Amino acid sequence: MHADEPHGNDVAQRLNWLRAGVLGANDGIVSVAAIVVGVAGATSDPGTILTAGAAGLVGGAVSMALGEYVSVSSQSDSQKALIEKERRELAEEPDEELAELAAIYRDKGLSMETAQTVAEELTAHDALAAHLSAELNIDETDIVSPWHAAFASAMAFTVGAVLPLLAILLPPASIRVPLTFGAVLIALALTGALGAWIGGGSRLRAAVRVVVGGALALAATFTIGNLLGASGIV
């Protein structure tokens, strides 16, 4: 084992964060693209399209951040409660906890003598860390941060949302909708494939899935916007 090598839990956690970022960007692409394409179906006024897109970007980013903050806060509170429970049990029942730790290692295939030796040495080194790892698969120094999660989620959504905003606003009015469709579907194919690669799934299947879903969302909102614009309601 080398100090600079990545190992199991650390790599898995980084990949999970990366995959969450890709999915957040994917949400930003689809959500804002659907809004601006729908508005573009009703009006060609760039100010109106920009206002709707910017509102969708800010509202979506805040919503993603709040949702992630609440979710991760619950996870963090649960982890902290488990840590405090384990700390209390170690203080009140050290012998029982030592026997429990030895039993865990016996169940993993160690002999009774080896399991007892491992449990005693780990307890002498850091009893709390040993029990958290063996019983709960928790690292006391690696508690998830709701603020970090909220910020990362909001940033990922924002990065994804910028693409459809630029695609709908920069080109001439005559090609802005088809160009936005194309740019968004290509971006969705890339994020879908990347997310599947990180998770070890089929990149083609994931790309097709998100492209079809995105295309349906864009077609639906553009049709509704077009109908509303043609009817004179907006």
Tokens of 123: 């307890």
Cα 82 to Cα 209: distance, rounded to the nearest angstrom:
39
- pTM for the full predicted model: 0.76
- Note the Cα 6 to chain centre separation in Å: 21
pLDDT mean over 10-18: 62
pLDDT tens readout for residues 87-139: 899 999 989 989 998 999 999 888 989 989 988 898 899 888 888 888 888 87
Give the helix/strand (H/E) hosting 179: helix 176-199
Mean pLDDT of 26-52: 93
Identify the pLDDT of residue 150.
Answer: 87
- Nearest CA to 104 out of 92, 80, 122, 82 is that of 122
Predicted local confidence at residue 12, as pLDDT: 55
Using one digit for the tens of pLDDT, what is the confidence trace for 41-85?
999 899 999 999 999 999 999 999 998 899 888 888 888 888 899
Residue 29: the pLDDT is: 94
